[in-house]
Each structure stands twice: as structure tokens, then as C-alpha cells.
């Protein structure tokens, strides 16, 4: 899970491998905020899979690639 200079750099780095998913850095920031913001909370509780899937869905990260097990 890396940041790249641009989509062209992703493509070159993949060197023919099957790509994963590329998203804008602004979406990544929103994802991180929703996923990690409670991580140091004193009353932290584990996220349920459905809760995490709802975070992904809410950001438009849908489809087979973003489906949690």
C-alpha cells in the first residue's frame, strides 16, 4: 500500500503484473480518518467487519476488490 508520484508511475512499477486499485490521495485521507481515528481511544472496541465494510462502501470503494472476508 504505497503512494506513487502518478498513475504512470504505478503502471511502470507494476511491470505487467495485475493491478490492484488506485485511488486519489484525498480519498485515502478520508479512509484513514474513518478507519483509524478511534485507534487510541480509551474506550476502543474492535471494529466489526460490517463496520469496516461500511467505511469502504461509504467512500465508493466497492466491488470485489474492496470486499472484506
Partner 1 sequence: MDEADLEIRNLTYRLFAERASAPTVGDVVLESRFSEVEVETAWRRLHDAHALVLEPGRPELLMANPFSAVPTVHRVQAEGRWWFANCAWDAFGICAAFGVDGRIETLCPDCSETLVIGIRDGRPDRDDVVFHCLVPARRWWDDIVFT
The verdict on 48 binding partner 1 (CB under 8 A) reads no
CB 7 within 8 A of CB 22: yes
CB 10 within 8 A of CB 19: yes
Instruction: Kindly write out the interface string for residues 8-47 of this chain, putting x where it contacts partner 1 by CB under 8 A and - elsewhere.
Output: -xx-xx---x-xxxxxxxxxxxxxxx-xxx-xx-x-xxx-
Query: Does 60 engage in binding with partner 1 (CB under 8 A)?
Result: no
Nearest approach in angstroms of CB 47 to partner 1 is: 10
Cα-to-chain-centroid distance, residue 58: 11
Q: What DSSP state is assigned to residue 19?
A: P
Contact call for residue 59 and partner 1 (CB under 8 A): no
Give the span between the Cα atoms of 45 and 57, in whole angstroms.
21
| Contacts to partner 1 by CB under 8 A | 1-7, 9-10, 12-13, 17, 19-33, 35-37, 39-40, 42, 44-46, 56, 64-69
Amino acid at each position: 500500500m504505497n503512494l506513487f508520484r502518478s498513475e504512470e508511475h504505478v503502471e511502470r512499477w507494476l511491470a505487467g503484473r495485475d493491478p490492484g486499485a488506485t485511488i486519489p490521495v484525498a480519498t485515502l485521507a478520508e479512509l484513514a480518518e474513518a478507519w483509524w481515528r478511534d485507534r487510541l481511544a480509551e474506550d476502543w472496541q474492535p471494529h466489526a467487519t460490517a463496520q469496516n465494510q461500511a467505511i469502504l462502501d461509504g467512500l465508493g470503494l466497492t466491488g470485489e476488490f474492496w470486499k472484506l472476508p
